[in-house]
Chains A and B, each alone.
Chain A
Amino acid sequence: MLRKKHLLIASAAGLLLAGTTFAQASGDTLVVGLSADITTFEPASVSSRDNANVVRHIFDTLQSIEGDGSVVPDLATNLAISEDGLAYTYTIESGRTCHDGEALTAEDVAFSFNRAKDPANAFTGNTPGFVFSSVGFVDAVALSDTEVQINISAKNQIAFGLLAEVYIHCKDSYEKMTLEQAATTPIGSGSYKLESWMPGSEVRLSKVAEPGNFQNIVYRIIPEASTRSAELMAGNVDIITNVAPDQIDVINDSGTSAVQSVQGTRRMYVGFNLSPEFAAMPGGDAIQNPDVRRALQYAVDVPAICSQLLNFPCERMTGIVNPPNANKSLPPYPYDPKKAEELLDAAGWQRQADGTRFTIRFQAGRGRYLNDENVVLAVAQYLSDVGLKVETDIMEWGSVYVPLIRKRNVGPLFFLGSGGALWSPLYDMTDLAKADSGTNYTHWNDPRWFDRWTDIAASKSPEETRVIIDEMLKVFYEDGPWMHMYFQPDFYGVSKRLNWTARPDEKVYLFSATLN
């Protein structure tokens, strides 16, 4: 009996002991709850936003884009662009080192770029897959210990911003590593180094250099939104990403934390697929007419969708470009179903005996964007109200919808989001850089848009470029291939002990975070 009693006491003590080891945020430790797992620390393989948000604390870049879109120096103190726009020469700050103590020179920067491009490594991350494809990266050459030249194949006014996304590391350490080692044990150049990584569970970083106000950053992987919210309200994490709209009020009422809602840069739109194949489909023929597309802009009440389904007062888009860089003379389309019906009548698509004008299929993926399924159903209802017979086809995102999107074979109506930026209107516009570009999912080929890219390349001043951009945006606004929706809001739960401001571009950088 006595032995049993001792066992009970020991068990209770054990549990009590365990109770004191909660994963609490503390004075020198910042805890972030992420929704998606971290899959790699290989700088050239990072592709997801969550993964990039962690890795950016381990690796520095040549320059940094701030939350407001301004460009500031990071490793590079100076940038000189050649007259033909094909060579970018960066001056590297001297005295910088990697986490193993190796001096970081121009040779290391050149190595970081060239290694990412090496086909033998078959990297598929953001650097080789997006940055290099977008700028036409040729190679990188160290001109001296402090000067590195990046060569690109064609003049590109936004190359400097894209090159600022490449993670820099040291040559000697990475030459010795296998690809597997590089993916799990990074030797970085940034202000934090990797302490430990438990896949699917947590990542621990510790500070080794400035900037940064916390000695440790812990990222916990918490896939379920309500669990993330509970951890935040319990004080176990300081910041959570992707707060579900229906939990905003609960968090705000908790007293321990609050939700920061920001209008993001991701452009959400309903695309009109104008390809000849889709023109032969029901409804595909109707949307070939720009008047029909314009009519449908009036049919959807975007502010109502935002307030009712996203719990956020969004601003309706006026085009493909984020607000600070948009054509300011263009007002958002108002919700005016009567006008939509008049325009559809005038375009020759009157209501038939059954009350419908034409049938059209509306395809979308499920679970990728904020409340996407309900947004699609709401848009379909609005279109039905003006006489369209909408057949919604909402499918699994990753393995069904994405392949269709990538083959530009989705529609005639489809719902999609596209990541944007504040630092240049051209970044947003390059989704439609060429009529046959992989991101022109609509097959739109209006020469009033696509022919102007040569004018932009030839323009001599920012003012001249701005005039051309505004003209292009007007064409896009009036006759474009997107039904303008909204910029997706982002919701971050933030502990009241923390002083940190969310950025609109989904980048969760913690360097400036401090305790209140």
Chain B
Amino acid sequence: MWTFIIRRLLQSVVVILGVTLISFVALQIGGDPTFLFVSERATDEEIELIRKALGFDQPLHIQYLTYLGNILQGDFGNSLSYRQPAMEIVLGALPATIELTVFSMIFAIGLAIPFGVFAALYRGTPVDGGIMTLAMFGQSIPNFWLGIMMILFFGLHLKWFPISGHVPLIMPLLQGEFLTAVTNIPKSIYYMILPGIAVGFYSLSRNARLVRSSMLEVLSQDYVRTARSKGISERAVVINHALRNAWLPVVTMVGLEFGFLLGGVVVIETVFSWPGIGRLVFTAINQKDIPVVQASVIVLSVIFIALNLIVDLIYARIDPRVKL
């Protein structure tokens, strides 16, 4: 197993290098970013001065190599908009996104498993039909629309939940403010409910369908029939024999989905004014804040790679047939 982990970590370095190169080139395709940081009335001399100060006067390959050299020394550069270390800004936004993603995954998985199991157990009944109809809606409705509708109904009309905003939970912990973090828990969850549901609804629907089909397949296997014939209760058969095996494809999906959600909740973060990394990257791309985009890409790549590795390890753990 350790050989596998070391090999994967070495591969990860190559992947991250490739990702930084691709994002660097992509950001340069749009042209010289200097123009976004000078007044339209600036003279050619003033533009040149700023270009030099921002480091855009060097050839592209020199800019890239300098950037890589700085990364090795832990220097990810300063944000062109915030004038602060880019990595600090990215790490400042990351906890909010992790909070939202974890909450939405708990919501999605927590409901997808019972929904999928019930749909499979009651196949062809109104229960199955109702759950699958809901799942179809969940996969069809754009999450930003769902978010706005929930804001209007639950936030504005019923006033049950806050319309937008964020109460930090992880950040106070990281800053050593344990008491603040604990005090913030109810408020933090309260603010997470609407955006968390908006983010997780698609995942809930997809995973419910996945659990259902996986359960249907497993329930028809010989070992399930054997378990039943041994007189084991139906509940024990479903939970201990069927669900454990039906769970395998879901684990793979959940691990990958978590990584995708970390970088892909930009729309929901915008709708709910959630100060996360998705919104930060979107704004940084528009402003051509290259250091922030690059730092975000690296952080997200590392997380994604780590999640993939963890999924593989978990998979090997829960499925004895898989050897690393």
Binding site for B on A (CB under 8 A): 11, 14-15, 17-19, 21-23, 37, 39-40, 42, 45, 119, 122, 124, 126, 129-130, 133-134, 179-180, 183-184, 198-202, 220-224, 226-227, 230-231, 233-234, 236, 397-400, 402-403, 405-407, 437-439
Contacts and interface: CB of A to CB of B under 8 A. Distances in A.
B7 interface: no
Given A438-B42, A439-B40, 16 more contacts: A11-B186, A18-B187, A39-B82, A122-B50, A122-B54, A129-B42, A200-B93, A202-B165, A230-B156, A398-B287, A399-B285, A399-B286, A402-B35, A403-B32, A403-B35, A406-B40
B275 A18 contact: no
B84 A183 contact: yes
Contact of A236 (B35, B163, B288): B163
In order of increasing CB-CB distance, the 6 nearest A-B pairs are A200-B275, A14-B186, A129-B39, A399-B30, A122-B53, A18-B190
Contacts of B304: none
A226 B151 contact: yes
Nearest to A200: B275
B41 A15 contact: no
B168 to A, nearest CB: 8
B253 interface: no
Contacts of B189: 14-15, 18
A37 B283 CA distance: 9
A191 to B, nearest CB: 25
Nearest to B272: A227
A60 to B, nearest CB: 22
B173 to A, nearest CB: 16
B83 A40 contact: yes
- Chain A CB within 10 Å — which of B37, B89, B276 has the most? B37
B217 interface: no
B31 interface: yes
Interface of B: 30-32, 35-43, 46, 49-50, 53-54, 81-85, 89, 92-93, 148, 151-152, 155-156, 159, 162-166, 168, 185-187, 189-191, 270-273, 275-276, 279-280, 283, 285-288
B299 to A, nearest CB: 16
8 contacts: A14-B186, A180-B84, A200-B279, A227-B163, A230-B164, A234-B159, A399-B30, A406-B35
Contacts of A15: 186, 189-190
B270 A224 contact: yes
A234 B273 contact: no
A457 to B, nearest CB: 18
Nearest to A17: B186
Contact of A21 (B148, B155, B187): B187
A157 B35 CA distance: 28
B41 A130 contact: yes
Contacts of B152: 230
Given A223-B270, A398-B288, A439-B41, A201 B30 contact: no
A400 B36 CA distance: 11
A224 B282 CA distance: 14
Nearest to B151: A230
A222 to B, nearest CB: 5
A241 to B, nearest CB: 14
B102 to A, nearest CB: 18
B155 A234 contact: yes
A437 B41 contact: yes
B39 to A, nearest CB: 3
Contact of A130 (B39, B148, B159): B39
B155 A230 contact: yes
Contact of B81 (A39, A221, A403): A39
Given A21-B187, A23-B165, A133 B41 contact: yes
Given A18-B190, A134-B41, A230 B163 contact: yes
Contacts of B163: 227, 230-231, 234, 236
Nearest to A221: B273
Contacts of A234: 155-156, 159, 163
A223 B269 CA distance: 9
Contacts of A198: 168, 275
A400 B30 contact: yes
A179 B84 CA distance: 8
A59 B49 CA distance: 27
Contact of B38 (A14, A124, A202, A236): A124
